[in-house]
Amino acid sequence: MASVIGSVLDKREHDRSDILAMLQCSEEDVPLLYRRAAAVRDRYIGNTIFLRGLIEYSNMCGKNCLYCGIRRQNDKVVRYTLTNDEVIEAALTAHRLKLGSIAIQAGENWSKSFIDNMEELIRTIRKLTDGQLGITLSLGEQSRETYQRWFEAGAHRYLLRIEAASEALYRKVHPDDAMHRYERRIECLRMIQETGYQTGTGVMIGLPFQTMSHLADDVIFMRDFDIDMCGMGPFIEHSDTPLGVNGADNLFMKERFNLTLRMIAIIRIIMKDINIVASTAMQAIDPTGREKAIACGANVVMPNLTPTKYRPGYKLYEGKPAFSEINEQNISGLKLSLIPGTTLGLGVWGDTPHYSRRMARI
């Protein structure tokens, strides 16, 4: 008997019911879904895995997202901000190791000194690497002017997860105040896209109150927003947060992990030529999590370059790997033997063809 998922996979366009069918297909059909997603990646963008050296610049955050370990009200966190020298050193390490680009991430900070300093850092890194090192930012909600300034300074990709595309669900996992508005998140994503960044978003998978229907809406949101990059990961409890008071709930962790793999595969099948990250949170649940994500369609990995002494301070969720995983011998931190048929994209930015196609249409 032909598999049910086979006929869905063979469609040229997928509607909401197809997305739900892929999300809920039987265990026997899952390998077919994953294999198709990897084949779509290889066909549309090739089998090269691109690297972004992750620099966790600061854990100071003005916001209070109910799921996040570095939320403002978690007073157990020892706050840090890297010095400019430390950021530059990490960036130069990325350049030396031929990672091609870096991603600077931090809690949300809207102060003038933060914004000015970031602009300066972006310019300095571009200058010191002769414009060769790509720069992605993930610094949360900012003003249009700030997005513009950082773009002009030389950053060219920005990642701002919508977290949950359903407004009702978004409200359940954020405080109900002016600093955590769904409309503002959307507005910022729009401004990022309009500024000219390669624009990335994503969601957490396995949030409390989340249903399959929400996940189908997440896929539709990313498709309709025409994003260039997707970063998704399982939600993992942090015991010092309102949504994690009982600690990591391992009973359902495997389900969240598997559902994240399905989401990656589905986004790949539907959006075809975008960049999809194999997130660190996958690795927190399964030591070979990122390799598994690549085997079902992801094509970007973010080895951590944050100086080791700061890593315990950037615990967004529990079990986040804090060890140093990359060096001259293994610059991706990947167990490449587990993902046959892929190669590493060294010394290149690894931009998506999706972005150039989108810009050509504007």
List residues near ligand SF4 by CB under 6 A: 61, 63, 65, 68, 70-71, 107-108, 140, 316
| Interaction mask 317-346, ligand SAH, x per CB under 6 A | x-----------------------------
User: Kind and range of the H or E element at 186?
Assistant: helix 182-195
Q: Does 155 bind ligand SAH (CB under 6 A)?
A: no
Question: C-beta of 61: minimal distance to ligand SF4 in Å?
Answer: 3
Burial of residue 112 (CB within 10 Å: 0-12, 13-18, 19+) is: exposed
CA 14/CA 9 separation, integer angstroms: 8
Question: C-beta of 46: minimal distance to ligand SAH in Å?
Answer: 28
Q: Does 68 bind ligand SAH (CB under 6 A)?
A: yes
Binding segment for ligand SAH (CB under 6 A), chosen from 14-22, 44-52, 156-164, 187-195, is 156-164
Q: Does 161 bind ligand SAH (CB under 6 A)?
A: yes
CA atoms within 13 A on the CB side of 162: 29
Contact 163, 205 (CB under 8 A): no
Contact 120, 156 (CB under 8 A): no
Contact 33, 25 (CB under 8 A): yes
Tell me how crowded residue 228 is: count the other CB atoms within 10 A of its CB: 26
CA torsion sign, 77 to 81 to 279 to 22? positive
Q: Which of residues 72-131 bind ligand SAH (CB under 6 A)?
A: 105, 107-108
Partnered with residue 14 across adjacent β-strands are: none
Question: C-beta of 347: minimal distance to ligand SF4 in Å?
Answer: 31
DSSP 208-227: TT--HHHHHHHHHHHHHHT-
Q: Does 138 bind ligand SAH (CB under 6 A)?
A: yes
Q: What is the DSSP letter of 338?
A: G
Nearer to ligand SAH, 247 or 287 (CB): 247
CA nearest neighbour of 300 among 132, 54, 55, 52 = 52
Question: C-beta of 346: minimal distance to ligand SAH in Å?
Answer: 26
Distance set, CA 85 to CA 42, 92, 222, 303 (Å) = 39, 10, 37, 20
Q: Does 233 bind ligand SAH (CB under 6 A)?
A: yes
CA 261/CA 295 separation, integer angstroms: 9
Question: C-beta of 362: minimal distance to ligand SAH in Å?
Answer: 25
Question: C-beta of 106: minimal distance to ligand SF4 in Å?
Answer: 7
Looking at 102, 121, 269, 281, which residue binds ligand SAH (CB under 6 A)?
281
Question: C-beta of 209: minimal distance to ligand SF4 in Å?
Answer: 17
Q: Which does 207 bind (CB under 5 to 8 A by kind): ligand SAH, ligand SF4, none?
A: none
Nearer to ligand SF4, 186 or 294 (CB): 186
Positions that interact with ligand SAH (CB under 6 A): 67-68, 105, 107-108, 138, 140, 160-161, 163, 204, 233, 235-236, 238, 281, 316-317
